């Protein structure tokens, strides 16, 4: 794990074990850093939700809680931009294949909302071709401050 701040940019690189709750090692510090960098509470909520969903997906659906696999997370936080890259060691998935959770027939399904929430709350999210790594970005614009 490395954790450093230079020129107002905080960076973290860490490998998480594939066990429930290990995401707290990232989210607790990430939330602190967003506050330190002056991000407003609504944006902190948005980033928290998106990163929580993405890391839990990587641990549970990607690595399937396999103790021999890690989830690699890289974070970068500055005053106007946050970037979080999350990669698991699973086979990946096709994000386009996730059914629309807002379709009438899916509206009351008990799961399947994480990816939509990530897309809605972040400025951009991009999966790699294999579908086992995602980069989440949020830019703090004037309209959001």
Partner 1 sequence: MPTHKRIDVSKVGDVTVVKFVDRKILDEAGIQELGAELFSLVEHDNRRSILVSFDNVDFLSSAALGKLITLDRKVKSVQGRLKMCNIRPEILEVFQITKLNKVFDIRGEEAEAISAF
Using CB under 8 A as the criterion, which residues of the chain lie in contact with partner 1 when the complex forms?
20-21, 41-42, 45-46, 48-49, 52-53, 56, 101-102, 107-111, 113-114, 116-117, 120-121
Q: How far is the CB of 8 from partner 1 (least distance, A)?
A: 26
Q: Which is nearer to partner 1, 5 or 113 (CB)?
A: 113
Q: How far is the CB of 53 from partner 1 (least distance, A)?
A: 6
Q: How far is the CB of 116 from partner 1 (least distance, A)?
A: 7
76: exposed, middle or buried (Cβ count in 10 Å: 0-12, 13-18, 19+): middle
Q: Which is nearer to partner 1, 11 or 48 (CB)?
A: 48
Q: How far is the CB of 108 from partner 1 (least distance, A)?
A: 5
Distances in Å between the alpha carbon of 113 and those of 20, 23, 78? 19, 19, 28
Q: Which is nearer to partner 1, 57 or 132 (CB)?
A: 57
Alpha-carbon gap, residue 38 to 58, rounded angstroms? 28
Q: How many residues does the chain have?
A: 145
Cβ atoms of 14 and 25 within 8 Å: the answer is: yes
138: exposed, middle or buried (Cβ count in 10 Å: 0-12, 13-18, 19+): buried
Q: Which is nearer to partner 1, 21 or 38 (CB)?
A: 21
């Amino acid at each position: 794990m490395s954790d450093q701040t230079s020129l107002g940019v905080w960076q973290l690189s860490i490998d998480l074990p594939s066990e429930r709750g290990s995401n707290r090692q990232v989210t607790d510090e990430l939330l602190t850093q967003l506050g330190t960098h002056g991000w407003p509470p609504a944006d902190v909520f948005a980033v928290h939700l998106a990163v929580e969903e993405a890391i839990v997906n990587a641990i549970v659906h990607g690595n399937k809680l396999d103790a021999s696999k890690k989830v690699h997370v890289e974070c970068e936080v500055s005053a106007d931009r946050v970037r979080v890259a999350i990669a698991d060691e699973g086979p990946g998935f096709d994000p386009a294949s996730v059914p629309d959770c807002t379709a009438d027939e899916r509206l009351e399904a008990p799961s399947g909302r994480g990816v939509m929430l990530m897309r809605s709350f972040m400025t951009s999210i991009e999966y790699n071709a294999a579908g086992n790594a995602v980069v989440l970005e949020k830019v703090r614009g004037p309209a959001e401050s």
